[in-house]
């Protein structure tokens, strides 16, 4: 009995010490950075708007059809939904009462003025390397040019105790410690600029780098193991491998990559899912110089050993289909449902209907994106270069067996070669789609 009492007391003491230490970390590890920012400076505001575009802030903090930056967009996690917060300068429900130090601490360290920690769905681990100049411009833009919206934040659906915020201090110390941007060794100015954008403002790793058991990105910059930007699954989408290797970007030229970033499509493929939002809200607004810098940096990432090159097999599919031979498993379903857009040769129509032949999304290591877009459909981004946003219908009415056969066929035709898709894969994605978060949080007014 006495031992149990001491054990309980020890546990309570350890918990109290842990809690006290955790909530104090933001003060003893990283003091608040005070600065006087002229939020009426037109040049600074314009620069801040560009930085906000590069950071894609509007995409995550705006519900479809809602006021910009007013929050409410749901992010699906394995434990529940996290809703983006209101970051308009409304003093009651937004960030209108923030000083620059509060703002900088929230964006770079993930800590609110009241000491509460933000969930790491907010990519502050990436924003750690954003320069002071960009951070100050961002503050000027938000405080002077964004329209205030009174809208309460939506609480997370993650159940207690996983929803507690104070343990995130320990998460931050383990996975988001203070760091400065370090240019890649031997890189020129263009690649250095690209690395800064990719690692920091554009936070590409938040979606494209695999995560560990604690939801941490396994690498926040180029690493010896080549995990950085090596592809990851988020909300049921496979965020493509962006390394310059086999199923990554090895088959893409720098020009093709720039075209994709600027317009959301090229002769090979088209953006879909959340990447469509990234192009529409962010990338299309960047300068050609910055898009080239991003593309050149990504193409500079070295392939991992054994993954240098992807070679297509001989295309035997086109001739077989043109001869009217639809006996291969999945072939008849393809002809009935897909050929009108993607054609018998799997080449689609450049800039309109994505090719399936040689499309690295199709033969990606993880078929999640192919499965989700086939089930639920997708929409291309709308840009000045392509104001007509084509929509692909979903084919959820087909059986799991038919879809598994169809996608296995597509992943292994016209020279493509990849692992098969199973009925269990289809069933798992149907469940994922059925449990997507509802984004629309109630708006109190503008």
Alpha-carbon span 105 to 143, nearest angstrom? 16
Backbone angles phi, psi at 390, to 5 degrees: -75, 150
Within its chain, how far is the Cα of 296 from the centroid? 20
List, as residue ranges, the binding site for heme c.
57, 60-61, 204, 207-208, 338, 341-342
Question: For residues 294 and 286, what is the distance between their CA atoms, to the nearest angstrom?
Answer: 10
Contact 54, 290 (CB under 8 A): yes
Distance CA 42, CA 146 (A): 14
Give the separation between CA 395 and CA 408, rounded to whole angstroms.
Answer: 15
Establish whether the linkage from the previous residue to 161 is cis, with ω within 30° of 0: yes
Q: Alpha carbon of 138 to those of 43, 66, 125, 196, 375: distances in Å?
A: 12, 21, 17, 16, 39
Contact present, 446 and 147 (Cβ < 8 Å): yes
- Token representation of residue 390: 């084509």
Does residue 355 contact residue 345 with C-beta atoms inside 8 Å?
no
**Spatial CA neighbour of 373 closest among 432, 291, 417, 302:** 432
Binding site as annotated, residues: 57, 60-61, 204, 207-208, 338, 341-342
Structure tokens, 386: 């392509």
Over the Cα atoms of the chain, what is R_g?
24
> Beta partners for 87?
none
- What distance lies between CA 178 and its chain's CA centroid? 22
* Coil, strand or helix at 54: helix
């Amino acid at each position: 009995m006495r031992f149990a009492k001491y054990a309980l007391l020890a546990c309570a003491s350890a918990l109290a010490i842990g809690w006290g230490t955790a909530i104090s970390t933001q003060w003893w590890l990283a003091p608040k950075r005070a600065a006087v920012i002229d939020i009426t400076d037109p040049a600074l505001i314009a620069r801040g708007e560009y930085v906000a575009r590069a950071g894609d802030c509007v995409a995550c903090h705006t519900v479809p059809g809602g006021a910009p930056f007013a929050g409410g967009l749901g992010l699906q996690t394995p434990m529940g939904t996290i809703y983006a917060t209101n970051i308009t300068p409304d003093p009651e429900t937004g960030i209108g009462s923030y000083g620059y130090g509060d703002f900088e601490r929230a964006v770079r360290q993930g800590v609110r003025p009241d000491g509460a920690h933000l969930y790491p769905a907010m990519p502050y681990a990436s924003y750690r390397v954003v320069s002071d100049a960009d951070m100050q411009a961002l503050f000027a833009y938000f405080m002077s040019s964004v329209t205030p919206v009174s809208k309460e934040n939506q609480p997370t659906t993650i159940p207690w105790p996983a929803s507690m915020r104070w343990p995130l201090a320990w998460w931050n110390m383990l996975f988001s410690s203070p760091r400065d941007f370090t240019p890649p060794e031997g890189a020129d100015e263009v690649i250095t600029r690209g690395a800064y954008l990719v690692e920091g403002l554009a936070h590409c790793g938040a979606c494209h780098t695999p995560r560990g058991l604690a939801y941490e990105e396994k690498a926040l910059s180029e690493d010896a193991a080549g995990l950085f930007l090596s592809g990851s699954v988020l909300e049921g989408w496979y965020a493509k491998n962006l390394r310059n290797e086999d199923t990554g970007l090895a088959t893409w030229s720098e020009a093709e990559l720039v075209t994709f970033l600027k317009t959301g499509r090229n002769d090979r493929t088209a953006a879909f899912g959340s990447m469509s939002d990234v192009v529409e809200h962010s990338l299309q607004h960047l300068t050609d110089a910055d898009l080239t810098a991003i593309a050149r940096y990504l193409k500079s990432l070295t392939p991992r050993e054994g993954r240098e090159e992807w070679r297509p097999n001989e295309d035997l599919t086109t001739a077989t289909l043109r001869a009217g031979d639809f006996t291969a498993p999945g072939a008849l379903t393809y002809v009935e449902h897909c050929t009108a857009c993607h054609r018998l040769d799997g080449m689609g129509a450049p800039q309109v209907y994505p090719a399936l032949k040689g499309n690295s999304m199709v033969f990606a290591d993880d078929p999640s994106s192919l499965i989700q877009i086939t089930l639920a459909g997708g929409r291309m981004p709308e840009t000045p270069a392509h104001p007509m946003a084509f929509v692909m219908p979903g084919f959820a009415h087909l059986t799991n067996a038919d879809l598994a056969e169809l996608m296995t066929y597509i992943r292994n035709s016209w020279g493509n070669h990849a692992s098969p898709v199973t009925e269990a894969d289809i069933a798992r994605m149907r469940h994922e789609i059925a449990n997507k978060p509802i984004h629309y949080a109630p708006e109190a007014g503008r």
